[in-house]
A and B are shown apart, each in its own frame.
Chain A
Amino acid sequence: MIENLATGLEIIWTLEHVIAIVVGSLLGLVVGSIPGLTATMAVALILPLTFDMDFVTSIMLLVGAYKGGIFGGSITAILLNTPGTPASAATVLDGYTLTKQGKGVKALKMAKYSSCLADLISDLILIAIAAPLASIALRFGPPEIAMLILFSLTIIAGVAGKSIIKGLISGALGLLLATVGLDPILTTRRFVFDQPNLDSGLSLIPVLIGLFALSEVFLQLGRKSKSAADEFAMVHSSNPADNRVSWSEFKASLKSILRGAGIGAGIGIIPGIGTGIASFMSYGQAKRASKDPVAFGEGSLEGIAASEAGNSAVVGATFIPLLTLGIPGDIITAVIMGAFLIQGFIPGPLLFKDHADIIYAIFIGFIICDLVYFIIGSLFMKYAAYLSKVPRKTLFPIVFVFCVVGSYAIHHSLFDIGILVAFGILGYYMIRFGFATAPLLIAFILSPIGESAVRQSLLMSSGSPLIFFTRPVALFFFLLTVVSVIGIVRGHYKRGKTKT
């Protein structure tokens, strides 16, 4: 392996490849930080440009865009309550609160450190033990995925806000809204009212941006400025401690970062789950384990660290099933698999045998990517922080424009703008009446995966629910769900007692 790494380094270390990484990361950062324009879109837009490039260059460009895109999403999530990609929706919860407290730069820096560290860990896992991990991924059939999703739904308790009942109502609404569209098994229409635009369901991006970003724009519009300082959306703190992450703060979050990296890598290996879920799950677990769980959602640095570590660690790990088995773990790796095929490289076990040097070159490229987007990210953030000098009345109309453009761009469909506005209004009223919007989003992301998996499992077992309890991995996640529900109920009971 050492030998392979050495030849790999030789291959990757050319000006062309390094430029590809820098350009890819930069494009990813810019696209990812614009709400609605996701990392997926960045990669898909770049793909056709790579057809005439040499193989390693093209892959590096795409990987750079992927990593940069996931990271870029966190910048606007923190500064503007506008997750650039679904992956950073969990970052909004604490990031924007910190920005409102004048600690936006601190939050950005925490996001950067934790993203890069978790990403690096995930890449090292990829390099060290890709092959054995891939076989674990294969054990996740429909019953295992169904139970994993059931467990993931317990995250809702962690982001429900003040009232768990309202959180559950919000989550149930998300589950329900996700059933709009074609039935995943029978392909019959459900709740589409003969509207072909709804066949593929409510698109995630307009739902996400509507709930988080547009609702915030509406809230800001409804606020009256009381003083001159209030003219600005963000407070820029002159206290230097608010603009950096101290060593002790970093150390306090380190556990959450490592846990997030583990969760992200685990989720990344299993095909078909995705970055959004990883960040929420990492966030939920960090809150459960934290000494200061009450701070989560009120501007906790640990929360940002957990969320960003979770989504960044997914990236390296999704390449494990792709490279070892030829299975794309998510939409982005599916697009990148297209690049492999076009160039005549078929991902799978043979790739390691026939082109080990090139594969290791790509691995090293992954790590260079981490370093590059760390540096580019630092520069980018310096300028992003100037947003705090833009008055609210200028800033939020601009955010509004981006919301609309982003929602339109995803499918070039005016219908999606209607969805955006509908969910903006829904989000506005939910917040006004004390319903957290995050549970709705989590349920909305999880529901389609979970529904397919449950129904596929029941087809496999000819209708017997025992299939969920007789397979060890599925049973493990079921028991984990039971344990965490008991934990949540007990926690609430205790807290309720101390209050009275």
Chain B
Amino acid sequence: MKLAIDYFNEIQSEQNFGFSISDGAQTIQKEELNKLIDQYVSIIHSKRQNDQVQCGVAICLRRSIYYIAAMIASWKAGAYFIPLNIRWPEEKINDVLASCKPDVIFIEDDFEYDLENSVSISDVLNKQSTDVFYLDNKPSDLAYIIYTSGSTGKPKGVMINHLAYASYIDWTKRYFSRYANNKKLVISAELTFDITMGDLAFALAFGTEVHVAPDPRNIVSLYKMIKERNIDTFYSVPTTINAIYRFAERKKGADLSTIKLVLSGGDVFSIDLVKTIKNVTPDVHFYNVYGPTEMTINCFAARLDNQIENISNKGRIPIGNNFDIIDYAIINEEGVDVARRGDKGKLCVLGPQTMLGYLNDLETTRKSFVPDIRYPEFNRYMYNTNDIAMLDDDGQVYLFGRADHLVKIKGYRIHPDEVTRVVREIKNVYEATTIAVDIDKQLELYLFVQGKTGSIDIENIQEQMKTRLPDYMIPSKIINVQKMPYNDAGKIDKIKLREYLDE
């Protein structure tokens, strides 16, 4: 079976070609990259605490060629890696390190905290790397551990093995085959998000050059990189895509003409964004990709630019179709698979991309899987995404909010996210979210809304909602916020909003 490192070695062995990584300052490729990887590998071997098992490599570096090279080097050394963000507070870094206990941590020379087993980047670059040996990867070996924030606030380490990651690369190679000649992609998301693993998969599948943007929030530097480097492939979260397209629209002389392929993942977005992309870059192919980190980056995909009319009619964005290697079921409250019936239920998925589990947390791992009720005699399990989904008559799957947010108000089962979706489409609304609040043992819906400019006409929102939602779904309170709070993952921070209500 061809694993990630085999794809890499194959690209490196091609004549007059090789794997290429760039950041804002430098480019590294082919032999030079191999040399750097060998230096990393030598250090990993010298630090491993046990020769018999896979070792863990934590990467706590700036966004640079060295970060990406350390990922590949980990695999060459037969190790798995844990991506950290140098900007995380010390406490979070310590929490993650205490959980994954890596054999080695690669850090910047000027890193401010004192960490056990750390090796600075200049020590890597000074390492003599003769007689380097590589260790094989097995499909069952871990490829990486990505930490996601759990609902309890305790970070969960999602373990992804080489079988899962190779399956994703393989799918990329099949699904995006028409973009095989794309030359350059930009890594624009946080390196701790699995979007980066999706970018790397694309590069491994097609030999695409990897360009690491300096700062996910600095839209101008990202735009500049796209423009100056002729970037053609761009995968990011909707907020970043939205910001860069707004910049291209509003800045004199700006355009995104080099872009051929845009992928959006990690969050929902409004139809406006699809239309903006079509207006600014009419020839761009735009995909919505969906999946939890637990299913290795993505497991559903939909091309959107060629179905704008359908999206407008439906009033929502599809996640499209399951990958050819992913099976799914939509389980309703009675525990029946209602996918083919076109009913709503919890989206449950299975396939080779399924995570191994959460590191050292069997209980949470068990809870996240449910029996595959279609085949009770198999005793097989599916990963429960907790997203409410429906297979529509257009053959595509659509999402309807989180199952764990479902509430019962005045006897009606309500999805706060459904209210949010409707409000998001109202003119002048920039962002919105709805939460159920317990008022004297009775749940009520509170809507938080942020206008595109300054304050917003609450009465107008109310009027608009009345035309689009049944009475029982109209929030009892609408709160105009100046700025929606976001958490580390870039999603609306509902915990903060509740704290605000308590005050």
* Bind each other: no
